[in-house]
Amino acid sequence: MSDLTTAVTAALTADHDRLAAYLKLQTVSVQNRGITATVTFLTHAFEELGAQVQVWRDVAGSNPFVFATFTAGPHGNADRTLLFYNHYDVQPPEPLAEWQTDPFTLTEKAGYYYARGISDDKGELMLRLSAVKALQASGGLPCNLKFVVEGEEEIGSRHIPQMTQQHASDLAADAIVWETGGKDADENFQVTCGAKGILCLELSVTTAEKDLHSSLAAYADNAAWRLTQALASLRTADNRVKVAGFYDDIRPLTPTERRAVAAMTLNGDVVKQHFGLKRPLITADPVTELVNGSTMTLNGLSSGYEGAGVKTVIPKRATAKVDCRLVPGQDPQHQAQLIRDQLKRNGFGDVRVTYLLGEAPFRSDLTAPFVKMAVKTAHQVYGDHVRLVPNMAGTGPQAPFFAAVQAPIVAVGSTWAGSGPHAPNENVRVADYQQAACYTAELLTVFGTQM
Amino acid sequence: MSDLTTAVTAALTADHDRLAAYLKLQTVSVQNRGITATVTFLTHAFEELGAQVQVWRDVAGSNPFVFATFTAGPHGNADRTLLFYNHYDVQPPEPLAEWQTDPFTLTEKAGYYYARGISDDKGELMLRLSAVKALQASGGLPCNLKFVVEGEEEIGSRHIPQMTQQHASDLAADAIVWETGGKDADENFQVTCGAKGILCLELSVTTAEKDLHSSLAAYADNAAWRLTQALASLRTADNRVKVAGFYDDIRPLTPTERRAVAAMTLNGDVVKQHFGLKRPLITADPVTELVNGSTMTLNGLSSGYEGAGVKTVIPKRATAKVDCRLVPGQDPQHQAQLIRDQLKRNGFGDVRVTYLLGEAPFRSDLTAPFVKMAVKTAHQVYGDHVRLVPNMAGTGPQAPFFAAVQAPIVAVGSTWAGSGPHAPNENVRVADYQQAACYTAELLTVFGTQM
């Protein structure tokens, strides 16, 4: 074990209680819970490590941003700055009945850590702070560091565009490390260079001013049927989005990106078993779809009587929540308009489309020196099991960060394919958590000395 | 005003508190609430009028039936017996926020009575008892009467087939008057001679063992999409059921039935305005559809995240509640099998179809003497505004009653087109309530003396 690895291990042990305390905070942004306590917690955590901390409250309507800076140690490179982006908010824990442990209590069991946020991404921030502590204990930080931690990632990072504009000079850095990352289902560590965008909509239809007795179905329209038919008109039987122009703006992969995708793997059987999927994967090429496919997902349906037994009503109203994951070339506002237009063309002009939020997609230049360095360092820590991934399948506000900072972005971290970041029993493996902290410390060392 | 009308008016006044007390009982059968108290209440109400009362608890698994018999008065016809069928249970009052009055408090306002059950059908039973009281005060009952009141109509009258078999000799009668009836949207009083059947199903699909992060929509199936597509595959854009054989067993109307349908009217504009329908009626011939059309209604949809804001999950499970109204010739079990078969043919063999309940349709012979007498008497009370209706659009367990009693069935009562029997603000008009009580008293008089 190298000296740095030993120091990281010691830091993780020392920091275990801080990790548990951070996860205990119920920072559910969609319910506006726990924000103030969490900001206070983080301020103290950074200050204890010697950071200069600012809490930015100058972005109108936003939860506060926690901004912390560390300067390079006496042997470090004061000309190089790395920026970490994380978020302190988490998804709601529901459905509670499906958790096998308390969602806000860090529970270690059989090599796994369980808690809401352990993977997405309170755990990631804490392991980065442990890497900082280890580096400080091993001769000092090899470069300058900045951390910006937002409180609205799980509700769409609505204020990141404004924050990154207002604070572009504060954020100035040579490279950006994104909130989370980790291993794929085949245990390959991924260095991920972008994120999909997202568009979230609510589709609703109202067919009457009251629920009707279902005997009147002989002549009266039904909101649940109407919404069902409208939704079904947007998707083929083999699960392609049937909205004119929906896929048109997707930028084809470059040769470098294609090579990266070709080296990626996804074990369909492992994935199926892990999630208990009842039917085959809906695509023959899941890897390419994860990187450069645009999706339309029904997140929820609600209409009429949903209780026990029977209630023979015609629902007056039906709603669906929909998200679309977007890839480079696609724009959320434009995609929303395509969907609105298609619904009208399909005869469903009465279906109301409400734009809930949108984020642009982003992908770093895979040939950037920092990207290559992150991959090379990964090989040193993870051996052969490393893959360069053009972008994650998930979403994050990378586009506005890039616009402000003009630096490459990579996402690396401690998750695995079964982490279940938005689901009950969210988890990471303890060994992955430790390995990711080591990688972070190594990456900062190489970044300070070799670039 | 005739002496009988005067007596009915007096009885209704005297019985107002009893009506209010009956409606106050929260007899919500789907939630198994209020059953015992309501049975006790009815037993006392019948006994106060001099009936012999039995509470039948001998039908396994059923809520009790209240059975009451009155013998003809000294001047009445002891050879003729009329059987009333009613139910003491009501639909749940939800959604509570949409009630303008307390659902379990009889409220009189601007000529309307409001309460859950005032139309369907606690009010109907009470006005029938007021008619009994008026006849008793006017020289005695003109015929024998039987009342059977069940407690499971709103959950599908599951035990009526068994009860009517076990108690066929108790129920013996020359004619049957059904639970409720009234006026159509054009203010015509209807003498209705049958009821549609019903089939209630739950359709559900499970695509995974857990909800997934929606970034995985690149390859993972989605229960909400799957259910949406399965449902949409069962219905054309113009709202015809697209299930092979679904309409095949419908018995064509006889010439007499066709004449009755031709005389019926439905003012589409009035209906649209009353219910606040946002789109045109879904059929060009609503009257025929109400009488002899078979429907498939989505009563409810539920899947995934239905709360506020955004939660980007792939739902693992989705469910729909469905009812089909059936007409003479159709059988609920057979129709369920057709739907199952069609889903399989459409590629949705993974959609689980659960049979919740079924009731057969029924239609009396429109040429039966009792039917003609009910119409003729209606003309005496309601003038020209009377229509013979082959069957109601709603459902009731008439088929098993007919099988046991072998007597014609007519449904008459106090409702109007805006009564909203299963909806918030269920109501009847006070004038209709009084008129229906008069009609009932007249009908019994004619039945005892002229048949």
DSSP B133-171: HHHHHTTS-SEEEEEEEES-GGGT-TTHHHHHHHTHHHH
| Residue B100 pLDDT exceeds 80 | yes
B282, A314 contact by CB (below 8 A): no
User: For a pLDDT cut of 70, what percent of chain A falls above it?
Assistant: 100
Structure tokens at B88: 């003491």
What's the pLDDT tens digit per position in B36-45? 999 999 999 9
Report whether pLDDT(A451) > 60.
no
Q: What is the mean pLDDT of chain A?
A: 96
Task: Give contacts of B103 with chain A, Cβ < 8 Å.
Answer: none
Q: What is the pLDDT of residues B189-216, one digit of tens each?
A: 999 999 999 999 999 999 999 999 999 9
Partners of residue A147 on adjacent β-strands? A68, A84
- Please give the average per-residue pLDDT across B300-328, as a whole number: 95
Cis peptide before A95 (omega within 30 of 0): yes
Q: Do B275 and A310 touch (CB under 8 A)?
A: no
Q: B393 — contact with chain A (CB < 8 Å)? A: yes
pLDDT at B157: 87
- pLDDT tens column, A350-384: 999 999 999 999 999 999 999 999 999 999 999 99
CA distance B92 to chain A (A): 8
Distance from CA of A325 to the nearest CA of B (A): 7
How confident is the model over B136-152, as a mean pLDDT?
97
Identify whether the C-beta of residue A335 lies closer than 8 Å to the C-beta of residue A325: no
pLDDT at B308: 86
Residue B1, pLDDT > 90, answer: no
pLDDT for A1: 60
* Predicted local distance difference test score (pLDDT) of residue A396: 86
pLDDT tens per residue across span A288-305: 999 999 999 999 999 999
The per-residue pLDDT for range B148-181, each reduced to its tens digit, is: 999 999 987 889 999 999 999 999 999 999 999 9
Rounded Cα gap, residues A447 and A441, in angstroms: 10
Window A:31-90, CB contacts with B under 8 Å: none
Token pair 């972070």 is at which residue?
Answer: A440
**Number of residues written out for chain B:** 451
Does residue A417 belong to the interface with chain B, where contact is any CB pair within 8 Å? Answer: no
Give B326's contacts in chain A (Cβ within 8 Å). none
Candidate from B277, B290, B301 with C-beta closest to A221: B277
Picking from A123, A120, A121, the residue whose alpha carbon sits closest to that of residue A107 is: A123
Scanning every residue of chain A, which has its alpha carbon at the shortest distance from the alpha carbon of B120?
A213
**Which residues 182-221 on chain B approach chain A with CB closer than 8 angstroms?**
196, 198, 200, 206-221
B interface mutation test: which of A154, A202, A298 has the most B CBs within 10 A?
Answer: A298
Residues of chain B contacting residue A305, judged by C-beta atoms under 8 Å apart:
299-300, 321
Q: What residue in B sits closest to A394 (Cα-Cα)? A: B215
Q: How far is A46 from chain B (nearest CA, A)?
A: 30
CB within 8 Å of B271: residues ≥ 6 apart: A219, A220, B185, B277, B281, B286, B417
Contact B207, B287 (CB under 8 A): no
CA-based radius of gyration for chain B: 23
State yes or no: pLDDT of B451 exceeds 70: no
Whether the pLDDT of residue A335 is over 90: the answer is yes
What's the distance, CA A291 to chain centroid? 14
**Domains of chain B as residue ranges with CATH:** 3-193+364-450 (3.40.630.10), 197-250+293-359 (3.30.70.360)
- All residues of chain A having their beta carbon less than 8 Å from the beta carbon of residue B228 are 228, 231-232, 298, 301
Residues with Cβ within 8 Å of residue B318, at least 6 apart in sequence: A301, B204, B205, B223, B224, B226, B227, B228, B301, B302, B303, B304
CA distances from B306 to A170, A302, A430, B303 (A): 39, 6, 34, 7
- The strand pairing partners of A312, in sequence order, are none
Task: With beta carbons less than 8 A apart as the criterion, state whether B17 and B103 touch.
Answer: no
**Interchain proximity B232–A227, CB inside 8 Å:** no
The chain A residue lying nearest B207, using CA atoms, is A278
Q: Do A218 and B293 touch (CB under 8 A)?
A: yes
Average pLDDT of chain B, as a whole number: 96
| Residue A310 to chain B, least CA–CA distance (Å) | 7
Cα A257 from chain centroid?
21
Q: What percent of chain B has pLDDT over 90?
A: 90
Nearest CA in chain A to B292: A218
Q: Smallest Cβ distance to A212: which of B266, B275, B306?
A: B275
* A153 touching B (Cβ < 8 Å): no
In 3D, which of A242, A322, A235, A239 has the Cα closest to residue A282?
Answer: A239
Interface mutation vs chain A, best among B33, B114, B312, B346, most A CBs within 10 Å: B312
Residue A314 touches partner B, C-beta closer than 8 Å: yes
CB A177 within 8 A of CB A439: no
Q: What pLDDT does B253 receive?
A: 97
pLDDT in tens, A223-279: 999 999 999 999 998 899 999 999 999 999 999 999 999 999 888 898 899 899 999
Q: Quickly state the pLDDT bin for B23 (edges 50, 70, 90).
A: very high
